[in-house]
A and B are shown apart, each in its own frame.
Chain A
Amino acid sequence: MAKIELINVTKRFGKLTALKNVNLEIEDKEFFVLFGPAGAGKTTILNNIAGIQIPDEGVIKINGEIVNQIDPANRNVAMVFENYALYPNRTVYDNIASPLRSPKHKKDENYIKGAVTKAAALMKIDMLLDRLPSQLSNGQRQRVALGRALVRDPNVFLMDEPLAHLDAKLRNLMRGELKEMQHNFATTSIYVTHDFMEAMSLADRIAIIDEGEIIQVGISEEIYYMPKNQFVAQLMGDPEINLLSCDLVENGTGFTCLWAAAPDNPIQLPEDEELFSRIRTLENKKVNVGIRPQNVHYSFEPVEGAIEGTVYSFETIGNKSVLTAQVKDAHVRIIAPNGLVLKLDQPVYITFDISRVIVFDADTHEYIGRYDESEVMKLVNEHRGESFTRAGENHG
């Protein structure tokens, strides 16, 4: 177990800068998720922590010790690769046993037998020990790769999209198993994914990374309710958050919001001193109002004060559906139940649950504020405390 720190880390590959001045602090025993789109630099971070690559600038510390010059074998990390990286000409048993036969961590064969069978049983692959990787399915290979990491007692587990190549059902199953394992093992883990469901459910804390830069770090509630900018808000949430481009007009004590797509339906913003004072500091009052699909209401009958639009599309995604409404040029995504009977281009009337909006600056895309922010902060702090005690509890 160990605390991992990245301080001002920059990494370049020729002309491409993969990591730009990255700073991260990962606590001991934390399950830390790196989340971001493809090519953001997540794997590069893992490689640098593991020692497979050395940063061009900056310092990497494991347990307070600077490890830049230490090669991977001596850093005592275990890594699960995105493409499993199993040794093709060795059996499952030998693959899992491999770390324990290296000069660094050499153990005798009895110990190895015990450790391997234990790890295999945990991963539910104990009947596959004699097979070669080419004879396994993707899901089985995944578990072998995990098993190979688990036989060790490393400083940190590094996992690079380990569930990426599994089908949805297996992915859900493995997610649960991973979570349980992490509790039992109490080892610092850094987990890379571009699936936000995985991130939300597994993480103690999440770091959002894009184009080599850390955008935001926090627990999942923090990131979901108070995203640092539009990019983060759009990443976290499926279906994607709606962003309405609006002009805010001050009138009397408050503001009305004029949505570009519905200029005839001004929306009065309820009072909130904190939020309003922030809005007043803005130069031009152009904002993007973010509202999540579950906070939009629709009706096929005209409703007082609702905005009229037409049905653009209707998709069923499992146990719910997404109704996309078109208002002028804008599309609004709304959660709806399955089995709705409707026709395309049929009129639909939408209202927004204003108390749930997140306000972003239209130019900088930065987070300005939301309603009941203090309540949310309280919730976040509670959970933050929880997740840390959770980490500390585990056979500490």
Chain B
Amino acid sequence: MNNPNEINSNSSVLRGINTVPFKTRVRPYLIVAPALLITIGILIPFVMAIYYSLTAYTFRIPNSDFVGFRNWTRMFENPQFWNALKVTITYAFWSTTVEMLLGLGIAMLLGNLKNRFSRIMRVALIFPLMVAPVVGTIIWQLMLRSSVGIIDKLLNLLGIYGAQWGASHQTAMMTVVMIDVWINCPFVIILILAGIQSLPKSPFESAKIDGGSAWFNFRNLTLPMLKPGILIALLFRLMAALQEFSIIFALTKGGPGDTLMSLSVTAYTQGYMYQRFASALPLILVLWFLVNVVANIIVKAWRKAQYQAAGKDIEETHAKREKNASNQIIREGK
């Protein structure tokens, strides 16, 4: 029928013969659409936040006058803001550091021990993580409260009376960090443990033959290969700790005084309780900026560590992903 020589790219019959049918091209967008719509709807608050931070809006006087950066300059001049910043960073630093170090240690323990105890623990230690932070804080409050709390009773036995925990300026931060660690350390543990369990055996076997101390092995073999997992745990924990609200709120609502008034709690107090909406928003926007910067740094480090720790594996995964995705009958629009 058709002489191959007759077919050239100018033939009108063939124009568009290789364009993917519209129905198929549009399919991915249709499939993603519901999810996008739902989540974009939530994007609106972000935009609104920026807008309202530049107005003089309060609930009693819905005044959307544009006041420019007045709210912002006020915030930077307000010692409350700087205190909030300090509290936020202190809290995030201590809780994350303790969680990472403790988590790493316990994960190594669980990785090394092969007995029944450790196997049970691997499951059991997830429990604190599954409890709602609010509920966790309540549990600890019960334990620490004088006259009924078990820890209080223990301290009494040791001769310490009237420990104030959350109510005292000196120990409030420590208390709240301890509760955060109790809840979130398991997160770090299981992430690092997963990394440990997937470590290849051969480098360690050859190191054994070459002869090297346990510390040497740890520093030069284990740690680099665990880096991606550690960085992911760090990323999640740091970002969550910077904006932690429930724990502080449930313990002291920010008190005593302003020892625990982190950016989140201050914003809540200003915006919700005092209804000074427009002055609360710059606080959270600063927080958001902080979180973003931290996230960017850590994600970059993570990508690099992934590449290094598993060199070829990552390339293979990316190539495989490319191949699988491009096998679909969809052409990339230019």
- Asked if B20 is at the interface of the complex by the 8 Å CB criterion, the answer is yes
Residues of A within 8 A of B2 (CB): 61, 64
Question: If A57-B9, A68-B17, A69-B17 touch, does A52 touch B4 (CB 8 Å cutoff)?
Answer: no
B4 touches A23 (CB 8 A): yes
A8 proximity list for chain B (CB < 8 A): 7
- List A contacts of B18 (CB < 8 A): 54-58, 68
* Neighbouring B residues of A53 by C-beta, 8 Å: 327, 329
Q: From residue 297 to 325 of chain B, which have CB atoms closer than 8 A to chain A?
A: 322-323
User: What's the Cα separation between A59 and B21 when bound, in Å?
Assistant: 16
A52-B329 Cα distance, complex, nearest whole Å:
7
A127 and B55 alpha carbons, distance in the complex (Å): 78
Minimum Cβ distance to chain B for residue A217 (Å):
14
Contact pick for A69, options B21, B326, B327, CB 8 Å:
B21
Q: Does A138 lie at the interface of the complex (its beta carbon under 8 Å from any beta carbon of B)?
A: no
Q: B209 contacts the other chain (Cβ, under 8 Å)?
A: no
Across the interface, do A13 and B326 meet the contact criterion of CB distance under 8 Å? yes
B1 interface contact, C-beta 8 A:
yes
Cβ 8 A contact of A7, one of B4, B20, B332: B4
Q: Which residue of A lies closest to B332 (CB)?
A: A14
Q: In the complex, what residues of A have CB within 8 A of residue B327's CB?
A: 47, 52-53
User: How many of chain A's residues touch chain B, expressed as a range?
Assistant: 20 to 34
- What separation, in Å, do the CA atoms of A268 and B7 have in the docked complex? 50
A66: CB under 8 A from chain B?
A: yes
Interface set, chain B 1-18, CB cutoff 8 A to A: 1-2, 4, 7, 9, 14, 17-18
A55 neighbours in B (Cβ, 8 Å): 18
**Which chain A residues numbered 22 to 54 have a C-beta less than 8 Å away from chain B?**
23, 47, 52-54
* Interface 0/1 of B261-290, CB less than 8 Å to A: 000000000000000000000000000000
Given contacts A54-B329, A57-B9, contact A64 B1 (CB under 8 A): yes
Q: Is the CB of A59 within 8 A of B17?
A: yes
Tell me the smallest distance from the CB of A219 to a CB of chain B, in Å: 21
CB distance from A158 to the nearest CB of B (A): 15
Which residues of chain B are near A52, meaning CB under 8 Å? 327, 329
Please judge, given known A-B contacts A23-B4, A59-B7, whether A66 and B17 are in contact too, CB under 8 Å: yes
Q: Could you tell me the distance between the alpha carbons of A47 and B324 in the complex, rounded to whole angstroms? A: 13
Residue numbers in B under 8 Å from A59 (CB-CB)? 7, 14, 17
Whole-angstrom CA separation of A248 from B322 in the bound complex: 50
Contacts of A61 in B (CB 8 A): 2
CB neighbours of A7 from chain B (8 A): 4, 7
Q: Is the CB of A14 within 8 A of B17?
A: no
- A23 proximity list for chain B (CB < 8 A): 4
**Smallest CB-CB separation from A47: which chain B residue?**
B327
A54 with B7, Cβ < 8 A, contacts A14-B326, A47-B327, A59-B14 known: no
Cα–Cα, bound, A69→B15 (Å): 12
How distant is the Cα of A325 from the Cα of B20 in the complex, in angstroms? 56
Of A5, A53, A59, which is in contact with the most chain B CB atoms at under 10 Å from its CB?
A59
**Which residues of A are at the interface with B, using a C-beta cutoff of 8 A?**
5, 7-8, 13-14, 23, 47, 52-59, 61, 64, 66, 68-69, 71
12 further interface pairs, Cβ-Cβ under 8 Å (given A53-B329, A57-B18): A5-B4, A7-B4, A13-B323, A14-B326, A53-B327, A54-B329, A56-B18, A59-B14, A59-B17, A64-B1, A68-B18, A69-B17
Interfacial residues, chain B to chain A (CB-CB below 8 A) = 1-2, 4, 7, 9, 14, 17-18, 20-21, 322-323, 326-327, 329, 332
Task: For the complex of A and B, list the 3 residue pairs with the smallest distance between their C-beta atoms, beginning with the closest.
Answer: A68-B17, A64-B1, A7-B4
Q: List 11 A-B contacts (CB under 8 A).
A: A13-B323, A14-B322, A14-B326, A52-B329, A53-B327, A54-B18, A54-B20, A55-B18, A59-B14, A66-B17, A68-B17
